[in-house]
Copies of this chain bind each other. A is one copy, B any other.
Amino acid sequence: MGKAKIGITIGDINGIGPQVIIKALSNEMLLNECTPIIYGSSKVLGYHKNIVGAQGFHFVTSNGDRVTSNKINVVNCWNESVNIELGKATEDGGQCAYIALDRAVNDLRDKKIDALVTAPINKHAMRLASFPFLGHTEYIAEQCNALGEELMLLVSPEMRVAVVSTHVPISEVATHVTKERVQKCILTLEESLKKDFDVEKPTIAVLGLNPHAGDSGEIGLEDEEIIKPIIIELKKKGHHVSGPYPADSFFGGIRYKKVDAILAMYHDQGLIPFKAFSFGSGVNFTAGLEVIRTSPDHGTGYDIVEQNLADPASMRQAIYNAIDIVRVRREYELMRQDRLRKNEIKNAGAIV
């Protein structure tokens, strides 16, 4: 099946996205592992290449249908000149990011690329460009007819953390903790661990919503009335799930190292410990989708874009994770077909 074709969207052209792409791909080792296809613009990449001063970064242009293996391919998604205003959320910046993302997601859906890695966008710029979604994840889920199926999963060598709610105000977090949603998250996470990360029998730890996981109902009732019953029910059915754990002491010990993944109830509850322990190499993966999409776990870095301070570790890791997941899924699919074939033979034998 050959090397994985990894699409990479350029992200906000006024942010560090283009720079971390250039830096990550300047290491030629990566070309042995995949064929990268950047969705964006040669001109914008040239502009940022000057800031970064990356001598090792060369590319060929492509229309997306034909790509050159062993080269970095760039799909020019617009032809007009655009105004780059480093460090600023602009309509132009939002529009370019939107156009590149749209083109890439089309190719992802059409299986022209095997996975997509998205460079960061800015919510304000995207709104100026009339992008009607909370972020990449929701857009991709909607374009792939899977809105509501997606699960934000953060991955690093240290841990995997998924979150029940993502970019919602704290005042609304509790309303997302419903029986349906939490159960779906646990099952989606379990399925992803098997299919995308090659974990045969996944173990999942679930964090409590309230301080001290509600302290037996003393601090809010959600932990006792919603989360605990789901865990008991799933355990009975043979799933390796435990909790709800008080989130603060959970990460104070070594318990987090002993499970395959952790389900946090909200953004900061999962992302604070994740980022604290992943030292800049964390990756965001959207579990629960048929398509494969990863991204670095940082933002547009407007404050450091002019000084060439952006660290490409997370982007590099996002590309490697995408490649790994493509491979694991291919093997998982082969194994599944193998099992099917064996069953058919067995059943055919039985009929004869």
Q: What residues of chain A have their CB less than 8 Å away from a CB belonging to chain B? A: 123-124, 127, 166-175, 209-212, 214-216, 218-222, 247-249, 251-252, 265-269, 271-280, 282, 298-299
Contact = CB atoms under 8 A, between A and B. Distances in A.
A180 to B, nearest CB: 18
Contacts of A247: 268, 272
Given A124-B218, A168-B219, A219-B167, A252 B267 contact: no
A252 B280 contact: yes
A271 B299 contact: no
Contacts of A170: 170, 173-174, 209-210, 220, 222, 265-266
25 contacts: A124-B218, A166-B211, A167-B212, A167-B218, A168-B211, A168-B219, A169-B174, A169-B219, A170-B170, A170-B209, A170-B210, A170-B266, A171-B222, A211-B268, A211-B271, A248-B272, A248-B274, A248-B275, A251-B275, A252-B275, A252-B279, A252-B280, A268-B269, A269-B272, A273-B276
Contacts of A215: 123-124, 167
A180 B87 CA distance: 34
A170 B244 CA distance: 15
A326 to B, nearest CB: 27
Contacts of A248: 267-268, 271-272, 274-275
Contacts of A299: 212, 249
B174 A174 contact: no
Given A123-B215, A170-B210, 4 more contacts: A123-B216, A169-B174, A211-B266, A268-B269
Contacts of A279: 252
A232 B298 CA distance: 26
Given A166-B211, A212-B299, A267-B211, A252 B273 contact: no
Contacts of A274: 248
Interface centre among A172, A210, A280 (most CB of B within 10 A): A210
Contacts of A222: 169-171
B277 A123 contact: no
A215 B272 CA distance: 16
A78 to B, nearest CB: 25
Nearest to A209: B170
Contact of A275 (B218, B249, B267): B249
A221 B170 CA distance: 11
A211 B173 CA distance: 11
A175 B172 CA distance: 12
Contacts of A123: 215-216, 218
What 9 pairs across the A-B complex have the smallest Cβ distances? A169-B220, A252-B275, A248-B271, A171-B174, A211-B267, A251-B276, A123-B218, A247-B268, A169-B210
A251 B251 CA distance: 14
A13 to B, nearest CB: 19
Nearest to A256: B276
Contacts of A175: 171
Nearest to A208: B268
